[in-house]
Amino acid sequence: MTADFENPNKGFESYLQFNPTPDGRFGKYGGAYLPDELIPAFEEITEAYNTICNSAQFINELRRIRKEFQGRPTPVYHCERLSRKIGGAQIYLKREDLNHSGAHKLNHCMGEGLLAKFMGKKKLIAETGAGQHGVALATAAAYFGMDCDIYMGEVDIKKQAPNVTRMKMLGASVIPVSHGLRTLKEAVDAAFEGYMKEYNDAIYCIGSCVGPHPFPMIVRDFQSVVGYEARDQFKEMTGLLPEAICACVGGGSNSMGLFTAFLADPVDIYGVEPMGRGEKMGDNAASITFGSEGVMHGFNSLMLKDKNGEPAPVYSCASGLDYPSVGPEHAYLHELGRVNYVSVTDDEAVEAFFLLCRYEGIIPAIESSHALAYALKFAREHKTGTILVNLSGRGDKDIDYIYENYGCGEQFKLD
C-alpha cells in the first residue's frame, strides 16, 4: 500500500475541521441567503446542532436507531459475477438499498428527526418532488411521534401516486401546491412559507446536502455513516482501501455520505452527474459539468442557468437527480480538484440497471444505476484494481417506467 507520505491527499486530514467555515462557507460556495424573518430560526438550528452533535446522549441514541430501526450497518458486497463478465477492475457495492425504507435518505431524516426532538419541536416540514424525501421524512416523523407536513406540487402528486399514499399511510399531511408550474420549485417556496408561520414548534428538514447553512453540513454529517462503515468493511474484506469510489450526484447527499470518510486517503473519487438525453440545455442535469456560480434556494453554488440567468430547465430519467444546482461542498471539492466529476447518460444508466439485475440479482434505483454505469466504464478501462460504488437505493419505484420503455432488458447481455 502507498506509504502515507506518498499520499497526494494528505492535506485533507484537517479538511473537516475547517469546512464549512462557521458561517457555512465551502470556499466561496454555500452560505445562507435567507429572508430576514427566517434568520433567527436557522441560527437556532445551527446552535442546537453544534451543541448536540458533540453530546454522548445524542450520538448514542442515533447509533441505537441506526442499528435497531434502520438495520445498519448495511453490507459491502463484491459483485464477483458482474466483475468477471466485465473482465477488469473488481466492483464492490455499499448496499444503501438495504437501509430501512430502501434508500440512503433515511440516514439524514432520522438525524433531523432526532435533532428536532432534542430541540423540543413537534412537527417536521419539508417539500418533496418525486416523493422519496417525503416518504423518508414521514417515516422519521412516525418513529418520533411528530406531525409531518409535506408540500408537494399538484403535478407531482398526480405523477407519484404510490409515494403520496405511502406518506399518508405513515401519518403525514401531504399539502398540494397549486401555483406556478406546480412542481418542486413551487413546493420549496410553499414549504418555506409554511415553516415561517410556525418555526417555534416546527423544524424544516431538507432532503439533500443543499439549502442554506447549516443544512449542507448537517446532512453531510448524518450521511457520513455510509462512508465510515464502508471504509472499515472494505478494509476488513480485502486488507486494502479501494482504488476508486463513486456515487451519483443529484443534490449530493449520498455522494458526500460516501466521500467524506475517504477525502484524506489515497483513493480516487468520482461524482457521477446525469447527462440525460445529451448535452443541450434542458436535456440533462449536470450542474457541475455545465453550471456557473449562482444563488438559488438560499445557497451559492454551481447552477445551470438559462439565457436570463434563471435556473435552467433540467431533465434526467432519474427524478432524484434532476436538480439545476448542486450541494455547495461538491462545487468546492470540484474547485479543489479532490473529486472528479463525470457524467453518464440515461441509456448508460439503464444498461447498468439491467446488468445488475441479471448478473447479481439486485434491482437498483435508476439514480444509483448512474454510479454503477460509471463503475462499469472504470472497470472496462482498468484491467486491475477495485472500485466501490454507493448503491444509494433499490429500484422497485422504477420498474414501471423502465418496463414501459425498455421491456425486461433481454437486449442487455454480456458474453
Ligand X SMILES: *Cc1c(COP(=O)(O)O)cnc(C)c1O
Just list the catalytic residues: 79, 104
Burial of 36 from C-beta contacts in 10 A (0-12 / 13-18 / 19+) = exposed
**For binding to ligand X (CB under 6 A), which residues are involved?**
103, 105, 132, 208, 248-255, 320-321, 365, 367-368, 392-393
Q: How far apart, in whole angstroms, are the C-alpha atoms of residue 57 and residue 112?
A: 15
Q: Which is nearer to ligand X, 321 or 379 (CB)?
A: 321
Considering the complex, what minimum distance in angstroms separates the CB of residue 364 from ligand X?
Answer: 8
Which residues fall within 8 angstroms of residue 239, CB to CB, at 6 or more apart? none
Helix%, strand%, coil% for the chain, nearest 5: 50, 20, 35
Q: Which is nearer to ligand X, 291 or 320 (CB)?
A: 320
β 29-30/25-26 pair status? antiparallel
Residue closest to ligand X, measured at CB: 393
Edge-to-edge strands, sheet with 173-177:
173-177, 147-153, 123-127, 202-204
Considering the complex, what minimum distance in angstroms separates the CB of residue 251 from ligand X?
Answer: 4
Considering the complex, what minimum distance in angstroms separates the CB of residue 255 from ligand X?
Answer: 6
CA 6 from centre of chain: 31
Q: Which is nearer to ligand X, 88 or 191 (CB)?
A: 191
- Residues β-bridged to residue 204: 125
Q: Which is nearer to ligand X, 88 or 393 (CB)?
A: 393
Q: Treating both helix axes as pointing N-terminal to C-terminal, what angle do 132-144 and 105-118 enclose, rounded to 10 degrees?
A: 40
Closest CA to 221 of 8, 17, 388: 17
Q: How far apart, in whole angstroms, are the C-alpha atoms of residue 81 and residue 354?
A: 14
If you write DSSP's letter for every residue of 278-291 in order, what string do you get? -SSTTS---HHHH-
Q: Which is nearer to ligand X, 124 or 199 (CB)?
A: 124
How big is the CA angle at 188 (ends 39 and 258), to the nearest 5 degrees? 85
Considering the complex, what minimum distance in angstroms separates the CB of residue 7 from ligand X?
Answer: 27
Considering the complex, what minimum distance in angstroms separates the CB of residue 3 from ligand X?
Answer: 34
Cβ–Cβ under 8 Å, residues 132 and 320? yes
Q: Which is nearer to ligand X, 88 or 131 (CB)?
A: 131
Q: How far apart, in whole angstroms, are the C-alpha atoms of residue 348 and residue 26?
A: 32
DSSP class of residue 310 equals S
